[in-house]
Structure formats: C-alpha cells, structure tokens
Amino acid sequence: MLTIALPKGSLLGDSIQLLQRVGLDFSLFQDKANRQLQILDPTGRARALLVRAQDVPVYVEYGQTQLGIVGYDVLREKQPAVAHLADLGFGDCRLSVAVKSDSPYASSLDIPAHSRIASKFVHSAQAYFQSLDLPVDIVPLSGSVELGPITGMSEAIVDLVSTGKTLRENNLIELEVLYHSTARLIAHPLSYRINPYGLSDLIGQIRSQSAPVAP
C-alpha cells in the first residue's frame, strides 16, 4: 500500500488539505482525541504516518514510505538521499542570522572571528560562515536558541524565522537571510522509478494542486 510520511507541527494542516484535494483524507490526525500515528485513507488507497518533521526524510530514504512532505530547511540540513519532486508553496519561512537589537553589527561579516553562534541548523550555519571565510564556533542547541545572545552564551544565532515576532519579543534582529524554506514533496528514489501503487499519477495530481511561492 502507498504510504506517505506527514510532518507533525506547522506543516501538518496544509499537508492534509493538499492531500484532500487529490482525494486522500488523513484529517483524523487533526482530531485531538486521536492517538494513532498511522491511519488509512477511508478509500483504502493509501496510509499515512505522522512523524517528527526531522524524521520525514529518514522514513522516505529508508523506504518505509514512498512519499513525504517536509520543509526545505530539513532537506538542506540533513541532505538525505531522496527524490526532491515539488515545491508545495506553503510553510514559507527563512533561515536567518540574528543578533541582539543593540549589537553594533550591521552584517554577518561584522561578527568577530571565533565568536560563538547558537543554532539547531549546525551544518547550514557552518556552511554559511565558511562561505564568508569567517571562523566561528557553532554551538548546537535543540531548544530556544534565542537564549544564546540573551544569556551571553553566543554572539548570534542561526534560526528559522517566520513572522519575526519571537525575535522582536526577545530583542533580537535579523542580519542576513541564508535561504527561504517552503514545504517540499519528496519520494523514495527507487519507488519513484518503478512507480508502485500508481505513484506517478498521485505525484502529478499533487503537483497540479500545489502553488509554489515566487523565488
């Protein structure tokens, strides 16, 4: 049976709505009384797994699901061996460098060499500062990275920004945008080639219903 990995969190609602437009209903995942992590579409065409966003490409890469929906930020950070099929046009956010609002820095290049930079996106942050030829110490955090500059543990952060409200409420400002992120459709490479369960037809339907954001 065709299996799709769906991400917990902010992308779930739009992901479910997109799949409903192509005839697959996994809205049970939005029922607060539901505790199932695997559900079948009522038509019996497919099933979906509800997993952490960071785990979506893992399930796809290892062939436990044929398709997945995940943010580009996760793909950029993990670089999994999956087929990247479509920009789905929702979940728009950006990965940015941010500092305290009263800092003297006008750009990332103003940050002193060997400063500490807190981030959940270790590989993306490292690659960015290496591209600037600016040696820094990336401090990996899994929680509220905004506390880095507030407590003085780090000079700056690299984190996802959507509205910017969290930054403003913690007296932080953006210096640079590394890249923009939206939800993406991914597939297991072998499944994509051999087309089980009418996979290519479903992919075509999803592509026709998605609305990529302008670059």
- Taking domain 2-91+182-209, whether its CATH number is 3.90.650.10 is answered by no
Q: What is the C-alpha separation between 34 and 12, in angstroms, rounded?
A: 15
Tokens of 127: 């690659």
Same fold across 2-91+182-209 and 93-179 = yes
| Residue 160, pLDDT score | 96
Which contiguous run of DSSP H or E holds residue 68? strand 67-71
Q: Where are the domains of the chain?
A: 2-91+182-209, 93-179
Summarised one tens digit per residue, pLDDT across range 100-139 is 999 999 999 999 999 999 999 999 999 999 999 999 999 9
Residues in the chain, overall count: 215
| Residue 211, pLDDT score | 64
| Residue 215, pLDDT score | 45
In whole angstroms, what separates CA 74 from the centre of its chain?
4
Summarised one tens digit per residue, pLDDT across range 138-193 is 999 998 999 999 999 999 999 999 999 999 999 999 999 999 999 999 999 999 99
Could you tell me the pLDDT band of residue 210, with boundaries at 50, 70 and 90? Answer: confident
Task: Compute how many other C-beta atoms are within 10 angstroms of the C-beta atom of residue 142.
Answer: 6
pLDDT exceeds 60 at position 214: no
What average pLDDT does this structure show over 12-37?
95
Residues 6+ apart with CB under 8 A from 209: 18, 21, 22
Q: State in words which class domain 93-179 has.
A: alpha beta
| Residue 212, pLDDT score | 55
Summarised one tens digit per residue, pLDDT across range 45-66 is 999 999 999 999 999 999 999 9
Summarised one tens digit per residue, pLDDT across range 68-77 is 999 999 999 9
| Residue 18, pLDDT score | 97
Amino acid 11 reads L
